[in-house]
Amino acid sequence: MNRKELIYRIKEKKSFLCVGLDPDIDRIPSKEGDPVDRILSFNKQVIDATRDYCVAYKPNTAFYEMYGAAGWQVLEETIAYIGPEHFVIADAKRGDIGNTSKKYAHAFFNTLKADAVTVAPYMGIDSVAPFLEYEGHWVVLLGLTSNVGSLDFQNQILDSGEKLFERVLRHSSNWGSPENMMYVVGATHPESFKDIRKILPEHFLLVPGIGSQGGDFDAVCRYGMNRDIGLLINVSRGILYPNNSEEAWLDAIIQSAKQYSQRMSKWV
């Protein structure tokens, strides 16, 4: 899915919701049967329940890789089940030397048929460039992540006075373009969005950290939007596991996704 198509989907649905498909076997309602079969069934039910309210899905590959070949099969079937009407981000956080990155790019774009893959930038351009060779596909570069540990390195102030993540954003923005690169910016850093938009006025931002991590939804929208909306706000646990009850769990998922979508419609 290219940028024009993504923007069309957002404006058509009046939503920029991305649903994170992070199936935790200990939390999904079904308690009987083979784990990978339960995960696939759960994913399909979640997708059917939420597809009217979101424009994207983000399966975190760790939740599938842990089951080996069977888990990869579930991931492949999940992406196929989503179909072409939604933007699919493989949240794999890859980052390696160029030759290895070529194989990763092939795996996620040609084999799994994802639209985008998350990539770590700290090995430099030769580790990212192979992903950018695929027309119609995207790199989602880790910019400023939502975890507490982001303070360890990403926010360190350099001799130039800029923060490390700001240097990464400026330098890497020349590797691709707003047509094939997005950036991960955590909602737990709402004060940073205004400055980030000065560095990246046109790029889409994938925003985790809303929901369970307590990110400020309104601040993200206020300071993070651009003329094309320019945001994909990801919610994983806040939609997949909206309550602890095994009864009416699917209705709870629908209501959670619907509520996020309705909040977003006021900004589109």
Question: Letter for the amino acid at 77?
Answer: E
Structure tokens at 210: 């809303």
CATH code of the domain in which 255 resides:
3.20.20.70
Report residue 246's pLDDT band, with 50, 70 and 90 as the boundaries: low
| Dist CA 87 CA 140 (whole Å) | 12
Quick one: pLDDT at residue 215?
77
| Dist CA 144 CA 31 (whole Å) | 37
Quick one: pLDDT at residue 245?
58
Residues 6+ apart with CB under 8 A from 130: 98, 101, 102, 104, 105
| Dist CA 162 CA 175 (whole Å) | 20
Structure tokens at 64: 């599938």
pLDDT, the chain, mean = 94
Give the count of domains, the chain.
1
| Dist CA 102 CA 216 (whole Å) | 37
In the predicted model, what is the mean pLDDT of residues 4-23? 98
> Is the CA virtual torsion 11, 12, 15, 21 positive or negative?
negative
Report residue 247's pLDDT band, with 50, 70 and 90 as the boundaries: low
| Dist CA 53 CA 146 (whole Å) | 24
- Residues serving a catalytic function are 93
pLDDT of 30 over the 90 cut: no
Quick one: pLDDT at residue 244?
60
Of residues 129 and 148, more confidence is placed in: 129
| Dist CA 44 CA 176 (whole Å) | 34
| Dist CA 260 CA 16 (whole Å) | 9
In the predicted model, what is the mean pLDDT of residues 225-234? 97
Domain of residue 210 covers 3-265
Running DSSP on this structure, what letter comes out for residue 259?
H
Contact yes or no for 17/264 (Cβ under 8 A): yes
Question: Letter for the amino acid at 119?
Answer: V
